[in-house]
Structure 1
Amino acid sequence: MTAALAISIFVLAYVLIATERIHRVAAALGGAALMAVAGIVDAHSALFAEETGVEWNVIFLLLGMMIIVSILKQTGLFQYLAIWAAKRARGRPYRLMVLLILLTALLSPVLDNVTTVLLVAPVTVLVCRRLGLPVAPYLIAEALASNIGGTATLIGDPPNIIIGARANLSFNDFLLNLAPIVVVLMAVFILLCRYLFRDTLRLRPEHPADLMDLDEREAITDPKRLVRCLVVLGMVVVAFGLHSVLHLEPSIIALLGAGAMVVVSDARPQEFLEEVEWPTLVFFMGLFILVGGLVRAGVIERLGEAAISAVGGDYVLAAAGLLFGSAVLGAFVDNIPYVATMAPIVQDLVEAAPDAEQGGALWWAFALGADLGGNATAVAASANVVVIGIAARNGEPISFWKFTKYGAVVTAVTVSLAWPYVWLRYFAFG
C-alpha cells in the first residue's frame, strides 16, 4: 500500500513537471509535501538521512559555485569570453556550437558537469544575443555535452563520486576505463548536433561583420580584481581534483572558494546573492525528497532486486541490464539519488561475480548508464536543471519537452554505442 501511494505521488508530481501545468518548483514541493502528509517520509528521512534525504552536498556545491560565477560575471570575464568565442567562430552558428561544446567537454571532467555549465552558460547567453542567435539550442547542447564529458572521471559527474566511494575506484580507474569511450561519444555527439539543431544553425551575415570590430579586452573593467578572482578559481579547480587527498567534500571546497572570492573581490552581498538560482536549489530539494519517498517505500530496491533475480548468473546480461536499465530509470529520477540507492545492490552483484574483470564491468556499465541516462529528460541530471534555471532567468525558457526531445535522442545513441564498448572490452576480449 505504501509503495503504491509513493509511486502515485511521484507520478503525479512528475506529470505536473513534464506538462508544466504548474511551475516545476511548486510541483516538486507539492509532491514532497504529499509524501510527508502520507507518512512516507518524516523530517529525519527527508532532511537528514543519507540514503533518503536531501543531498546537501549537491545543494551547497551548487550554491558555492553560483556565488563564484556571480562574482566572476561582475569582472567582465564572461563578456570577454563571449566576444572571443564569437570572433573565433567568425559568427558561424555551427562552428560556435562546436567551440562551446568542446569547451564544456574539456572542463566537465576536471571540474564537474554542474560547475561547468554554471561557468559556460553565461558566456553562451551573451554571445548568442550578440549574434542574434536563439539561446536554447546552445544551452541544451552544453548540458548534454557536460553529462557526456563528465562521465570520463571520478569528479566529472556526481554519480561517479558515489560509485567511486562504494567500489573503491580511483580517479585514474575512471580515466582509464571510461575516457576512451567518452572521446568517441563526444565526437558522435558533435556530428549529431548538426542534425538535431539544423533549423537554428543559420548564419546571419550582418552580425559577424559588426562583431569583428569589437575588442574583447574592453569588457574587462577591473583587471586586478579579475586576476585575484581567477587565482581563487584556480585554487578551487585544483582542490576539486585533489578532494580525495584533501579529505574535503566538493561542497565544502565550493563554499570555501565562494567565501575567498567574496573577500578578494570585496563584493557586497546584494551583488552576488541576487544571481543565485534559488528556484533551482529549492526544486532540487523537493526532487530529492520525492525520490527519497520511493526509496523509503522500497520501490527502487524492489526494482533492483527484481533485476538481479532476472539476470541470475549471466553477467553479460547483468551488465546490459545495468547499462540500459540505469539509462531508463535514471531518466525519470535524478541520477544522484538513483545511484546512491542502487550502488549497494550493484555491489552485492559484483561481489558474487566469478572474477574481478566481470565484476568491474558491472561498475562501468552502471556508471555509463547512469551518467549518459542523465541526458534523457530535463530532470534526469543536475546540469540539466541548472541550465533550464539559467535559461528562465535570462528570459529564454526551455520547456521540459523541448529539452527532452533532444536529450532522449542523444541518450539512445550514446547508450547504444556504449554497450559494444563494454561487451568488447570486458567480456569478448577481457
Structure 2
Amino acid sequence: MAPIVVVIFAVFVAFTRVLFRKSFQYNPEHVAAVMALQERRAITDVRLLVRCLIVLGLVVVGFGLHSVLHIDPSVVAMVGAGTMLLVSKLDVSDVLHEVEWPTLVFFMGLFVMVSGLVHTGVITTFGEWVIDQVDGDFFAAATALLFGSAILGAFFDNIPYVATMAPVVEGLVAEAPDPGTGRALWWAFALGADFGGNGTAVAASANVVAIGIAARTGHRISFWQFTKYGIIVTILSTAIAWLYVWLRYFA
C-alpha cells in the first residue's frame, strides 16, 4: 500500500498551498521568533526524560504484543500511566487536572451509542441488507464500502465504526469469489474509514484530542472551521483510494 500513501501525501502537500493560501504569508517577526527558539531549554530533567521514554517504549511494545500476552490494550495503557506517575513522582491531583475530561466523556457517550446499535440488532440488520444488495457485483460493493465508510466515518468516530462494521465486511468477504476480491473489500473498508477520519472534528480520536489541547492553549478551532478543510481532504484522498482499488483489483 506504499504507492497509494505516497501519492495521497504528495497531493495533500501540494493542495495545502490552495487550502491554506491565506496562512502562507511571510512574517519576519514570526520567523525570527521561531529561529530564536532553543529546544534544549525545554528539557529541564534529562534523567526523568530517559525514564519516561523507557516507560513509553514498554507501553508501545505492550500494545504490539497484547494479543500474544492476552492483555487488553486498556490494561497496558493504565499500567503505563501508573508507572509513569511512579517514575515522575508527580502529584496525582495535578495530573488529573490535566486530563481531557470533556474528550473522555464524549467518547464514553459515543461508545455507548454504538454499543446500543449493536445490541439492538441495527448493525446486523444493516449488514444483511448490504449483503443482499451486492448481488454478485463486488466492484460496486468495494465502491460502496470505500465511500460509505468515508461518509459514515466522517460523522462517527472511525474506531467504533470499524469495530462495528467489521462483521458486516467479513460477511461480504465470505461471499467473494476469490481471495483477491476479498482483499479488495477489506482494503476499501480500511481506506474509507481511515480517510473519513479526516472529515470532521469528531471523526477521529486524534481530532478531538488535538482540538481540545488547542482550545486549552487559547487557539480555539470550531467544528465547522475544521470541517471545511477536512471534507475537502477526505474527498480527494478517498477518490484517489478508489482509483487505486479499481486499478489494482478490478481493472
- The alignment partner of 1:274 has SS state of helix
| 1:189 aligned partner | 12
**2:182 alignment partner AA:** G
Match among 76, 95, 104 for residue 281 of structure 1: 104
Q: What's the CA shift for 1:215?
A: 3.0
The alignment status of 1:308 with 2:131, answered yes or no, reads: yes
| 1:340 aligned partner | 163
- CA distance 1:293–1:195, change in 2 (3 Å): same
| 1:424 aligned partner | 247
Match among 121, 143, 147 for residue 324 of structure 1: 147
Q: What's the CA shift for 1:403?
A: 1.0
The alignment status of 1:352 with 2:187, answered yes or no, reads: no
Match among 43, 47, 52 for residue 229 of structure 1: 52
| 2:29 aligned partner | 206
Moved over 4 A (4+): none
Q: What's the CA shift for 1:253?
A: 2.0
| 2:221 aligned partner | 398
Match among 404, 411, 426 for residue 234 of structure 2: 411
Give the TM-score normalised by structure 2.
0.91
Match among 95, 106, 123 for residue 272 of structure 1: 95
Q: What's the CA shift for 1:376?
A: 1.3
- CA distance 1:393–1:212, change in 2 (3 Å): closer
| 2:68 aligned partner | 245
- CA distance 1:246–1:191, change in 2 (3 Å): farther
- The alignment partner of 1:376 has SS state of coil
Contact 1:307 1:321 in 2 (8 A): no
- CA distance 1:249–1:296, change in 2 (3 Å): closer
Q: What's the CA shift for 1:311?
A: 1.9
Alignment of 1:367-382 (within 5 A): 367-382=190-205
Cα distance in structure 1, aligned partners of 2:228 and 2:39? 36
| 1:365 aligned partner | 188
The alignment status of 1:387 with 2:221, answered yes or no, reads: no
Contact 2:114 2:164 in 1 (8 A): no
User: Structure 1: 5+ residue runs without aligned partners?
Assistant: 1-177
- CA distance 1:243–1:190, change in 2 (3 Å): farther
Cα distance in structure 2, aligned partners of 1:239 and 1:288? 24
Q: Per-residue displacement from partner, 1:337-361 (whole Å, max 9, x unpaired)?
A: 2222221121111111111111121
Contact 1:181 1:421 in 2 (8 A): yes
Contact 1:374 1:380 in 2 (8 A): yes
Q: Per-residue displacement from partner, 1:251-298 (whole Å, max 9, x unpaired)?
A: 222222212211111111123221110110001111222333333444
Contact 1:319 1:366 in 2 (8 A): yes
